[in-house]
Amino acid sequence: MKAVQQPWFNIQRIRDDLYCITEPHYTWENRANLWLIKGRESDLLIDTGLGVTSLKLYLADLLDKPLKVVASHVHFDHSGGCHEFDQVYIHQNEHQALCQGNQQLILSAPEFGFVPETDFYALPYQGFSASNYEVRACPQARAIQHGDVIDLGDKAFEVMHLPGHSSGSIGLYDYASQCFFSGDVVYDGELLDELEDSVIDDYIESMEKLLQLKTDEVRPGHYRSFDRQRLQELIKTYISEKKAPGCPSEN
């Protein structure tokens, strides 16, 4: 019998203006990094996790100014808690899916089997069952597109549309600090490109764009952070594997 675990989240202060929130009682393989960036006039939260317990309440002591929430893409491990917040943004390609709670594109539909009971090491609350899990619709979400800027007063993040993992996958790039928040476009692990809304050719094109990105600080949607050298290694490995003879993108 699994025990109820509260708090459900864990928070790590990277520096005074940057925090990483995770869900340590959920499987490491799919556990997302949620990034909180503190700004002068507003704060930014990138991704919201599974939504199985209140992220808004957990972060309450840190939220002392208006909060902008950006979903790097619509998949359940990144968009599950969006419904709790007032200012929510997602790429226009996945805007309708989040607003309506489209469990197919969110990948939380039971037939996919992406959210099994075994992925939960503990329960977020008494009576929780993964078999009943779904992401709540977020009708207040607003659509963003490539080139839009999320302005925090002293920091500004440009939206980079980088489809492939999903049609609405984005990264956020701060030109001043050259920090890149990559969502699931690139992270130091197996990149997924055969999901409901994945397109390998689009993924290759997105990766080729990122080869020129000036950054020494990549904050991904999963696993550890890394520098530009590792970013380029991951990109080149992906491209070479997908362009090899017999790969789906060549058929």
Q: What is the pLDDT of residue 246?
A: 60
Q: What would the mean pLDDT of 135-154 be, rounded to a whole number?
A: 98
Q: What is the pLDDT of residue 250?
A: 44
φ, ψ of residue 122 in degrees (nearest 5): -145, 175
Residue 242 has pLDDT above 90, yes or no: yes
For 132, the 3-state DSSP assignment is: helix
Contacts of 29 (CB under 8 A, 6+ apart): none
The whole-angstrom distance between residue 73's C-alpha and the CA centroid of its chain comes to 6
Residue 243 has pLDDT above 90, yes or no: no
Which among 182, 171, 184, 179 is positioned nearest to 155, based on CA atoms? 179
Name the packing angle between helices 228-242 and 200-210 (round to 10°): 150
Q: What's the pLDDT band for 1 if we cut at 50, 70, 90?
A: confident
Q: pLDDT: is 216 or 100 the higher one?
A: 100
Which among 9, 56, 239 is positioned nearest to 250, based on CA atoms? 239
Q: What does the block give as tokens for 110?
A: 């039971």
What CATH code is assigned to 10-250?
3.60.15.10
Q: What does the block give as tokens for 132?
A: 């009943």
Residue 245 has pLDDT above 80, yes or no: no
Domain-by-domain residue ranges, the chain? Answer: 10-250
Instruction: Give me the amino acid identity at 187.
Output: Y
The sign of the dihedral angle between the CA atoms of 226, 227, 229, 235 is positive
Burial of residue 41 (CB within 10 Å: 0-12, 13-18, 19+) is exposed
Q: What would the mean pLDDT of 140-161 be, rounded to a whole number?
A: 98
